[in-house]
Amino acid sequence: MNALEKKCRQLLLQDNIDSDSEIDFDVNGKIHTLSYTYIIETFMQASTESQLVFVAALQKALEAGETGVSKFFQGMGQLLLMTHLSEKLEA
């Protein structure tokens, strides 16, 4: 776990948000469940610049409260799913 990933987890912990929280996504009738931890870990595999943007956006979401955090992870999860599905289509 890198320092930025630790920071993300600490930010959630400070706001009493469980990093194991999950979000369900319905993609063509199939449910995909992603945890906050999975979303964080996946984005931490990106470039350092992308990681910094992710952390900054998470901090802004936390300032907006629980709804902001939920919307943040919904958006990040949708991005991951779209990326994954588009990679499958190209193969």
pLDDT in tens, 13-58: 999 999 999 999 998 899 999 999 999 999 999 999 999 999 999 9
CA diameter of the chain? 41
Strands (E), 1-91: 22-27, 30-35
Q: How far is CA 73 from the centre of its chain?
A: 5
Q: Indicate if the pLDDT at residue 83 is higher than 90.
A: no
CA nearest to 73, candidates 49, 57, 51, 52: 57
Helix (H, G, I), strand (E, B) or coil at 47: coil
pLDDT tier for residue 90 given thresholds of 50, 70 and 90? low
